[in-house]
Amino acid sequence: MKWIGALLLLSATTWVGFEFARKMNDRPKQIRQLKNALQILEAEILYSQAPIMEACENLAKQLPKPMSLFFKGVSDELRKNSGHLYDVWKTNLDQFWPFVSMGANEKEILRQFGRTLGQHDFTQQQKHIHLALTHLERELQDAQEYKYRYSKMAKSLGFLTGLLVILLLI
């Protein structure tokens, strides 16, 4: 019975370590997807001159989950009520954020970008998109460095923590 409990404890702590490592691995991938989304949004706004609602709907069709969920939510909310775009953006961002592996810095970049979205002419809007892309590039580099530094450690630490607790209990 002790051995079954020990194996369950070891597998649970190992799973937690692998889950932390998965989040670290997903963060750079999701930042890249977000950068691609902003580049597509730039093309939709500047070249096809689509309204924000339509541009977000097109983005939702092109992007993988969980990014598509955010843009689909913005599009649906704008279709339902014609509220202020920033309020819709911020509400959907807050609802969407628990489903991603990104950090507070990326959320703040998106929040600031949402504040400027639809407020300026095409050239100013393009400058704001490029500014957001620059900030996301910096966060992407930080996320990749963090992943390389701590991903293997999180996996090992989960296993070793379980092993330590088992040894203390035996």
pTM of the shown model: 0.83
Percent of the chain with pLDDT over 90: 25
Give per-residue pLDDT as tens, 140-160: 999 998 888 888 888 888 889
Closest CA to 65 of 30, 97, 14: 30
pLDDT in tens, 62-106: 988 888 889 998 888 888 887 788 888 898 899 988 888 888 899
pLDDT, tens digit, 9 for 90 and up, residues 103-125: 889 999 999 998 888 777 788 88
